[in-house]
Structures are given as C-alpha cells and as structure tokens.
Amino acid sequence: MKLRQWSTVGLVAVATVATLNTVPATASRPYDPTTQSLATLGLRHGLHVGTAVNMDALNDASDPQYRRLASSEFASVTAENVMKWESLEPTRGTYNWAPADQFVEFAKRNRQSVRGHVLVWHNQLPAWLTSGVADGSISKQELRELLRKHITTVVNRYKGKIWQWDVVNEAVSDPWDTPSTLHYKGFWAQNLGPGYIADAFRWARAADPKALLFYNDYNIEAFGSGNPADDKTQFVYDMTKSLRAQGVPIDGVGSQGHLGTQYGNFDTLQVTAALKKFAGLGVATAFTEVDVRSQLTEGVQAGNAEEINPRLQASAANFSVLMKACLAVRSCLSYTVWGFSDNHSWVPGWFDDPPEGLATIYDENYQPKRAYQELKSDLIFAGPPYVLPRIAPRPRR
Ligand code: G3I
C-alpha cells in the first residue's frame, strides 16, 4: 500500500495524547484514567468508540440516562434505524428527514463523528418499493434509477457531515442459506444482479468526495477455511479485492461483530490477522455493530448467579477480543457497539426461541457491566510499540 494514499489521523491522536498527558495531575489529585469515558480513552489511540443510537430512547424524557450516556461516553454515533430507506422515504417521493436530521444535529452538538447507516440493504425497504417490484409496476430499469436517486439524495443531504457511510450492507449469503455455496443474496442482487454493489459505491462517491465508503457485514470477524464457497470472510475479501482492482471507490470494510457466548468465536490473534489482511488491500476496517448476546435460560431469568456470571464474563471477553484486535491494527478506525444498554437492545426482540439478551455493555439500569470495564482497560493499557495511532485512508476517487 502506498503511504501517500493515506492521511494520518495519527497526528491528531498524538496531539490528543499530548493534551491528555498534560492533564495536571497532582499528588492530591492524580490523573485517573478509569474515570474517563470510552470516547476519551479511545481517542488516545485515534480510535473512535461509538454506539448505535435509538432515537425513541434518545427522545424519551423519562429516560434521561440514555441521552446522558449517548452524548458523553461515545466519540461516534450510528443511527440504529432512522437513516434506513423505509424511514427516510415511507411514501414514494415524500421524505421524512426530521429524525435523521435530529440525529445528525445531536452528533454535531456533542462533537461526535457519524457513521451513516445504511444506503443499500435488503431489509427495512419501503413497502411501496418492494411491492412495486413484486407486482411489476416498477421495472428493473426503474429500480436501478430509484436506487441511484436514493443514494444521491441521501448522501447529498448529509454531505460533509458523515465520516463513514455503510454504502452496501449484508450483500453476501451465509452457509445456512440455500444454496449453501456463498453467493450474493437478497432483493438487490435478485433484481439488479451483483453489479449494483460497484454502482452504489460510485454513486455515493459522486455525491460526497470526502466520506469514507464502507461495505458492512456480519460473520466476517476472522477467516475460516479460506474457500470463498463456505468462508464468508474470504468471500468478502475477494469481493473487496476485485472492487479495488476495478477502481471502485470502496474505502473500508465494516465487520459488524454480532457475537453470542454460546458460539466458539475467535481469539484476538485470529481477529487481528483478519484485520491485517484487509489492510493489505488498502482498505480501512471498523467494528460497526458489536454486541455479544447470551441465551436467557430459566436459571438466568430467575437470577441464578451461577448461570449469569459465566455469561457476563464470556460476553466481556468477546467484546475485549474485538477491541484488542482493532487496537492492534492501525487501519481499524472505529469500534461501535450496537446499543449500549440492555433495555434498548435489538437482541431480545429478535431472538426469542430460545430467548437471548444480556448483549450490551451496560445493564438495563445503566450500570456498567464487566464488558464495559474490559473495554476501558483495553484502551487504558494499550500503547506503543504494539498499539499505535490510527492511519485513515484518503477517500478513493
Ligand atoms: O417501523 C416500525 C414502527 O412503525 C413501529 O411503531 C414499531 C413497533 O415496534 O416497529 C417499527 O419497526 C421496527 C424497527 O426496528 C424500527 O424500530 C421493526 O419492527 C424492527 O424489526 C426493527 O429492527 C431493527 C432491525 O435492524 C431490522 O432489521 C433493529 O432495531 C436494528 O437494531 C437492526 O439493526 C441491524 C443493522 O441495521 C444491520 N445489521 C444487523 C442489525 C441487527 O439486526
């Protein structure tokens, strides 16, 4: 990778470290990093620790703790839902910008960077779009034009305000899908063919020359067999390599990081190796939606500590694995949790057989869990020579 293609956010980080190191520490009031936010501790490394934001929770006057933590603990924010197509254009041609505008304003007020989520995804599409395609009233050609218009309109509106855009989300199938050989899946691939991916990045770039443009997916934390027929990480790696070779303006790959304590998961070195391999393609990386859920057995639900404790510990360990790997690789720019408290997590609403939960870093009463403390200690105890300031790519033209 050519160094001149990269700009050094490291300089900012070094300046930040210098500032932090000048915090007056006296014998009576020594500098105590454990009292600092994840945001502040992450920025020591130029790393943006972020969260997804649920706008209903943010606007709930009876829940002030949510707003307090969302604004103070994180350096970066992602809209959990309000930038998705169904939310932005519920009726064809009529945009509902207010919630997304409010979200972007919130970030600005709190000096937080914004990850834009999401331009192209097969879920949370407006009904007028999917039903129009299903009944044939929207042709393939018109659909492609609608996608171009959507990307252009949304990226334009927030031009200059978005640090990283998730341009394409979850385009690749999983081994449990049919057919099991990995392939491009979902509404967009079925209707437009996989060429929509390159188109989407080009349209996003045309609308904002400065945002970092990401591909975002789950189950790509580490490489597996190395065979793209069953190794999703390899499939996404090959796709990214091919897009770069064609000159498509893709700047980063986001690894969502939705883990569960019931699974084997990975060790820090496996995850570090994957991030390094993506770095070798010249793209940035980020953990974009981290949470680590657990099965809520009858014992857990009854408050049995012997069942709860190992889950909380395993969850913390997995949060930490992803954080340490991210810290170790300079092109890993941000680490975003997908909601920060168990009372506002997508997990219980999604996984109910068996029920799952306990996925975030604060409990439902906003008490920090072990996972929060582990993330903090990872950030505090990291430094040279293994953890160095971040290096961000220049947006690719
Ligand atoms: O829009 C309706 C609203 O009108 C209604 O009042 C409300 C009542 O519950 O439901 C609303 O829709 C819900 C929507 O979130 C907005 O709150 C859907 O039922 C619900 O299924 C939807 O879930 C979201 C999910 O994406 C949808 O696929 C989750 O909140 C959100 O966390 C989740 O996020 C995704 C990322 O975008 C991509 N990666 C995976 C991640 C987790 O699934």
Taking only the tens place, the pLDDT of each residue in 334-357 is: 999 999 999 999 999 999 999 999
Residue 375 lies in a domain: yes
Distance CA 104, CA 112 (A): 9
What angle is formed at CA 372 by the lines to CA 368 and CA 375, rounded to 5 degrees?
Answer: 165
Query: Ligand 1 test: best mutation among 86, 346, 351, 360, most atoms within 8 Å of CB?
Result: 346
Residue-range definition of the domain harbouring residue 340 = 32-381
Within its chain, how far is the Cα of 113 from the centroid?
A: 13
Residue 73 lies in a domain: yes
Residue 5 lies in a domain: no
Q: Is 217 in the pocket of ligand 1 (CB under 6 A)?
A: no
Atom of ligand 1 nearest to the CA of 338: 32
Atom of ligand 1 nearest to the CA of 218: 39
Atom of ligand 1 nearest to the CA of 56: 17
Position 30 scores a pLDDT of: 81
| Residue range 353-368: mean pLDDT, rounded | 98
The model carries a pTM of 0.94
Position 26 scores a pLDDT of: 76
Q: Is 289 in the pocket of ligand 1 (CB under 6 A)?
A: yes
Residue 282 lies in a domain: yes
Position 27 scores a pLDDT of: 75
Residue in 54, 47, 34 with CA at minimum distance from that of residue 287: 47
Residue 212 lies in a domain: yes
Quote helix, strand, coil % in the chain, to nearest 5: 45, 20, 40
Taking only the tens place, the pLDDT of each residue in 228-250 is: 999 999 999 999 999 999 999 99
Look over the chain and give the mean of its residue pLDDT values, rounded to a whole number: 94
Position 377 scores a pLDDT of: 98
Position 32 scores a pLDDT of: 93
Three-class SS state of 288:
strand
- Cis preceding linkage at 354, omega within 30: yes
Work out how many domains the chain is built from and give that number: 1
Report the percent of the chain where pLDDT is more than 70.
94
Distance CA 82, CA 87 (A): 5
Residue 363 lies in a domain: yes
Dist. CA 329 → ligand 1 center (Å): 32
Q: Provide DSSP, 87-137.
A: HH-SBTTB---HHHHHHHHHHHHTT-EEEEEEEE-SSS--HHHHHHHHTTS
- For the chain, strand residue ranges (E) read 6-7, 48-53, 76-79, 113-120, 164-169, 212-217, 252-255, 258-260, 284-295, 332-337, 356-357, 392-393
Q: Is 59 in the pocket of ligand 1 (CB under 6 A)?
A: no
| Residue range 149-161: mean pLDDT, rounded | 98
CATH of the domain at 308: 3.20.20.80
Question: Crossing angle of helices 196-207/140-157, nearest 10°?
Answer: 30
Position 23 scores a pLDDT of: 54
Q: Is 251 in the pocket of ligand 1 (CB under 6 A)?
A: no
| Residue range 298-309: mean pLDDT, rounded | 98
